[in-house]
């Protein structure tokens, strides 16, 4: 029991250490960070983080920048831009687009919330209203274009990162603007080159006819050459860093050009620092440490609860049905690892038919559920065909449910605390775990049952087929973790190996789902870790499956966009 308490304390220490590091970086130099809500258009409420540099006040207003994340992301995805701009003396509003994060409405509502966010930024007393910039990554170009169109003279410069002025049309926005002092930052390995600029690879973006028209030339646009005149508001510049789409907001090469452009086009920067001198990565390191601490805390909580008298009946020695690692074991391992990965793209496409609705309003979550439940069905069929072993399992449902609620509840409490104290969450790059507001909690309750069904089937098969009698601890954990995530490691290796070698993905028609799949590697590794940890202590798949069902539902729902509202219309081709 003493070791369990030490692990529990270690989890809290790691969480607090990581969160303090993240907080120290994002407030470096005296910057303050405030979590805000403000009125949007069409009855929506928008969410944001306001970064205010030291000295910024009504008496000494500072230049300001509105920044926006991309599709199925949240305001925290813009922390690299926000941190670097704020510590140089810019006020920054990192917004949640409508239908994302803590902003209400659905994707695309009122030009993605951009006009309302610009109005709110200009209402802040510490903002110099004559020196405002706009920046958006990917679909975040939608609110930027909407904001610029709503107030053509209300800003001085724009940066589109991995985006295009036509991006808003993806979700029905008709906003257009003659953008002032525009910088386009587009990765040479951007997965969306064909969709965004009609070229087959990012390094060829300068050859795009649409980009050339935007720059007022019929020749290839030369990177870093300034076209037009900054003082007249007609400047244009292209940057092509050698990065992928999700690395455009997570690399020095992607963030630097945006910072550099605002330093050139906005006046009043209080703390000039070279654009390439960046510290934001340490904030991400801090929130990653927090995520690791969360996993430690949840596992330690499980061990502590298991030591209580009421939960003691759950503690059983596992009784694996597999005698050794033979051909059948390796076949089961390969199928467990590979099938979820090779079915990911087709089942995600099929999942588009699971349209958003009142109780299931997140289209991406719906697609993921189709993938998950289809794989559960495949697992059941394979179990019958291959005559998988059926180890004896005692399922104490009441105690297992209570255990799962206690474990995930402790993890949620830790996130609630660091969110309130430090305005940080648990994340690294595309991996991100946020608190649930009341609206998203309601969504989570609806999505919980199907996710739990998936994990009950998947983890039962995992232990029935791969748990081997007499296996040591290392072999058990390696088998469980690799079986869960190795297929996606291989899938991403193929996709990005081809992208780096040829400039194109192997399956070029799946850029979005390829990026979505990046999260599966760490998430499924954590699922495998939880599955083995709980099985070793209970001899049952049920507690681990219930914990994973709660955890993954929380993760997906909190970070995915909302697509349904009472006036939502199905996207039927040919309908106006």
**What's 157's domain CATH number?**
3.40.50.1820
Ranges in the chain, pLDDT < 70:
388-393, 567-576
* 10 within a domain of the structure (yes/no): no
Burial class (CB in 10 A: 0-12, 13-18, 19+), 448: middle
Query: Sign of dihedral through CA atoms 119, 123, 129, 134?
Result: negative
Rounded to the nearest 10°, the torsion over CA 298, 303, 305, 310 is 150
Is the Cβ–Cβ distance between 36 and 47 less than 8 Å?
yes
Is the Cβ–Cβ distance between 72 and 100 less than 8 Å?
yes
- First CA to last CA distance, the chain: 65
Query: Which has the closest alpha carbon to 186: 148, 221, 155?
Result: 221
pLDDT in tens, 481-524: 999 999 999 999 999 999 999 999 999 999 999 999 999 999 99
* 95 within a domain of the structure (yes/no): yes
Other residues' Cβ atoms within 10 Å of the Cβ of residue 324: 10
| Rounded-to-integer distance, Cα 274 and Cα 252, Å | 12
Contacts of 478 (CB under 8 A, 6+ apart): none
Is the Cβ–Cβ distance between 275 and 257 less than 8 Å?
yes
| Rounded-to-integer distance, Cα 63 and Cα 58, Å | 12
Same domain, residue pair 366 and 469:
yes
* 16 within a domain of the structure (yes/no): no
pLDDT of 2 reads 82
Same domain, residue pair 121 and 218:
yes
Tell me, what DSSP letter sits at residue 130?
E
Which alpha helices (DSSP H) does 386-437 contain, by range? 397-422
Burial class (CB in 10 A: 0-12, 13-18, 19+), 273: middle
Full 3-state SS string of 522-553:
HHHHHHHHHHHHHHHHHCCCHHHHHHHHHHHH
Domain count, the chain: 2
Q: How far is residue 432 from each of residues 26, 73, 505, 556, measured CA to CA in Å?
A: 17, 9, 25, 9
Other residues' Cβ atoms within 10 Å of the Cβ of residue 575: 7
Structure tokens at 14: 């790691």
pTM value is 0.95
Domain range holding 533? Answer: 283-559
| Rounded-to-integer distance, Cα 230 and Cα 226, Å | 9
Which alpha helices (DSSP H) does 343-396 contain, by range? 344-350, 363-385
Which alpha helices (DSSP H) does 151-251 contain, by range? 193-197, 209-215
pLDDT of 512 reads 96
| Rounded-to-integer distance, Cα 133 and Cα 258, Å | 10
Same domain, residue pair 182 and 307:
no
Same domain, residue pair 151 and 259:
yes
* 90 within a domain of the structure (yes/no): yes
pLDDT of 567 reads 64
| Rounded-to-integer distance, Cα 87 and Cα 279, Å | 10
Same domain, residue pair 50 and 87:
yes
Query: Sign of dihedral through CA atoms 556, 562, 563, 566?
Result: positive
Query: Sign of dihedral through CA atoms 485, 489, 491, 495?
Result: positive
* 8 within a domain of the structure (yes/no): no
* 162 within a domain of the structure (yes/no): yes
Which residue(s) pair with 157 in the sheet? 133
Is the Cβ–Cβ distance between 4 and 311 less than 8 Å?
no
Other residues' Cβ atoms within 10 Å of the Cβ of residue 59: 8
Is the Cβ–Cβ distance between 197 and 231 less than 8 Å?
no
Same domain, residue pair 305 and 412:
yes
Q: Tell me the Cα Rg of the chain.
A: 25
Give the residue from 242, 268, 294 where a domain finishes.
268
Q: SS3 for 185?
A: strand
Which alpha helices (DSSP H) does 164-219 contain, by range? 193-197, 209-215
Same domain, residue pair 245 and 320:
no
Is the Cβ–Cβ distance between 249 and 171 less than 8 Å?
no
Same domain, residue pair 485 and 367:
yes
| Rounded-to-integer distance, Cα 68 and Cα 48, Å | 10
pLDDT in tens, 22-41: 999 999 999 999 999 999 99
Is the Cβ–Cβ distance between 76 and 35 less than 8 Å?
no
Q: At what angle do helices 281-306 and 79-86 cross, to 10 degrees?
A: 130
**Dihedrals φ, ψ of 303, to 5°?**
-65, -40
* 529 within a domain of the structure (yes/no): yes
Is the Cβ–Cβ distance between 116 and 80 less than 8 Å?
no
Query: Sign of dihedral through CA atoms 61, 251, 185, 22?
Result: negative
| Rounded-to-integer distance, Cα 365 and Cα 446, Å | 11
| Rounded-to-integer distance, Cα 440 and Cα 445, Å | 9
| Rounded-to-integer distance, Cα 362 and Cα 563, Å | 5
CA angle 373, 374, 379 (to 5 degrees): 95
Same domain, residue pair 181 and 217:
yes
Same domain, residue pair 395 and 290:
yes
Same domain, residue pair 482 and 392:
yes
| Rounded-to-integer distance, Cα 201 and Cα 190, Å | 7
* 462 within a domain of the structure (yes/no): yes
Burial class (CB in 10 A: 0-12, 13-18, 19+), 429: middle
Same domain, residue pair 243 and 329:
no
Structure tokens at 323: 């005698």
| Rounded-to-integer distance, Cα 246 and Cα 161, Å | 10
């Amino acid at each position: 029991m003493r070791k369990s308490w030490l692990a529990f304390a270690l989890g809290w220490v790691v969480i607090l250490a990581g969160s303090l590091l993240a907080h120290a970086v994002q407030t470096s130099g005296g910057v303050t960070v405030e979590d805000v809500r403000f009125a949007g258009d069409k009855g929506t409420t928008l969410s944001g983080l306001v970064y205010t540099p030291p000295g910024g006040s009504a008496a000494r207003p500072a230049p300001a920048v509105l920044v926006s994340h991309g599709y199925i992301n949240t305001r925290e995805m813009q922390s690299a831009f926000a941190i670097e701009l704020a510590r140089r003396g810019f006020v920054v509003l990192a917004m949640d687009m409508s239908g994302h994060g803590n902003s209400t409405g659905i994707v695309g509502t009122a030009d993605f919330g951009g006009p309302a966010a610009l109005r709110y930024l200009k209402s802040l007393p510490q903002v110099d209203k004559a020196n405002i910039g706009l920046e958006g990554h990917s679909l975040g170009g939608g609110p930027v274009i909407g904001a610029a169109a709503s107030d053509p003279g209300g800003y001085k410069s724009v940066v589109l990162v991995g985006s295009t002025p036509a991006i808003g049309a993806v979700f029905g926005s008709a906003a257009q603007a003659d953008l002032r002092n525009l910088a386009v930052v587009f990765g040479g390995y951007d997965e969306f080159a064909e969709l965004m600029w009609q070229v087959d690879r990012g390094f060829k973006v300068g050859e795009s006819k649409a980009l050339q028209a935007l720059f007022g030339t019929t020749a290839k646009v030369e990177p870093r050459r300034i076209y037009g005149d900054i003082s007249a508001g007609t400047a244009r510049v292209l940057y092509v860093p050698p990065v992928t789409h999700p690395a455009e907001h997570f690399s020095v090469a992607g963030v630097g050009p945006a910072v550099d452009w605002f330093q050139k086009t906005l006046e009043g920067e209080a703390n000039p620092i070279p654009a390439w001198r960046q510290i934001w990565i340490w904030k991400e390191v801090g929130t990653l440490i927090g995520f690791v601490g969360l996993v430690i805390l949840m596992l330690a909580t499980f061990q502590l609860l298991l030591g209580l008298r009421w939960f003691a009946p759950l503690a059983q020695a596992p009784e694996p049905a597999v005698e050794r690692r033979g051909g059948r074991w390796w076949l089961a391992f390969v199928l467990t690892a590979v099938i979820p990965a090779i079915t990911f793209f087709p089942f995600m496409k099929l999942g588009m038919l699971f349209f958003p609705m009142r109780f299931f309003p997140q289209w991406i979550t719906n697609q993921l559920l189709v993938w998950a439940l289809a794989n559960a069905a495949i697992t059941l069929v394979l179990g019958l065909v291959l005559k998988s072993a059926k180890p004896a399992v005692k399922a104490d449902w009441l105690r297992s449910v209570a255990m799962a609620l206690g474990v995930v509840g402790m993890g949620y409490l830790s996130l609630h605390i660091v969110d309130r104290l430090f305005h940080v969450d648990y994340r690294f790059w595309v991996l991100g775990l946020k608190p649930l507001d009341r609206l998203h909690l309601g969504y989570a309750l609806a999505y919980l049952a199907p996710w739990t069904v998936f994990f009950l089937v998947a983890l039962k098969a995992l232990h029935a087929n791969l748990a081997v009698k007499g296996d040591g601890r290392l072999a058990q954990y390696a088998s469980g973790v690799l079986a869960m995530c190795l297929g996606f490691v291989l899938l991403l290796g193929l996709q990005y190996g081809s992208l780096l070698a040829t400039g194109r993905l192997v399956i070029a028609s799946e850029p979005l789902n390829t990026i979505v799949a990046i999260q599966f590697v760490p998430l499924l590794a954590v699922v495998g870790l939880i599955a083995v940890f709980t099985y070793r202590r209970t001899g049952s798949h049920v507690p681990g499956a219930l914990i994973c069902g709660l955890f993954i539902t929380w993760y997906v729902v909190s970070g995915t966009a909302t697509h349904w509202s009472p006036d939502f219309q199905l996207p039927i081709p040919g309908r106006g």
